[in-house]
Amino acid sequence: MSIKTKKILVPFDGSKNSIRGLDMAIHIARQSHGTITALAVKSVPGIYALHPLGFLDFNSMVEVKKFLNEAKVRAAKKGIQLFTKAITGDPGYDIARFANNKKNGIDLVVIGARGRGSVKEIFLGSVSNYVLHKSKKPILVVK
């Protein structure tokens, strides 16, 4: 049985662990001639998630777009096409939902063990732990 890994999802927040996850995804994409989607989810307080306009913090979205562009350049240097997507919401939930959505065609999720979250768990970050348990796609956790 062979598994085709053509579309790789990398949750990306610019942290050291997310960069390690990106590097692993680049390595896998080079071997399988695949592409990468870097997904940044800007966490918003719950009350703003229900607001029709959402939580608009333009300064932080500028920062998000900056590190997503850096990820695109990092992948391009290795000959890999990287697509970026930036959204606001609940990081764990939205990453799992994006991965599970059939129209996105994700074959593999490569996620750093911890990101920028303020809560440090013993083995995994809260987002990677959530995605690990809720995703229907194969997950590679990079420490």
Domain extent at residue 81: 7-142
pLDDT level of residue 42 (50, 70, 90 thresholds): confident
Whether residue 2 is contained in a domain is answered as: no
14 in a domain, yes or no? Answer: yes
Average pLDDT, the chain: 85
- CATH for 54: 3.40.50.620
Query: Could you tell me if residue 1 is inside a domain?
Result: no
- Number of domains the chain contains: 1
Over residues 70-127, the pLDDT tens digits come to: 999 999 999 999 999 999 889 999 999 999 999 999 999 999 987 555 444 444 568 9
Mean pLDDT, residues 50-60 taken together: 54
Sequential DSSP letters for the chain: ------EEEEE--SSHHHHHHHHHHHHHHHHHT-EEEEEEEEE--HHHHTSTT----HHHHHHHHHHHHHHHHHHHHTT--EEEEEEEE-HHHHHHHHHH-GGG---EEEEES--S-SPPPSSS-HHHHHHHHH-SS-EEEE-
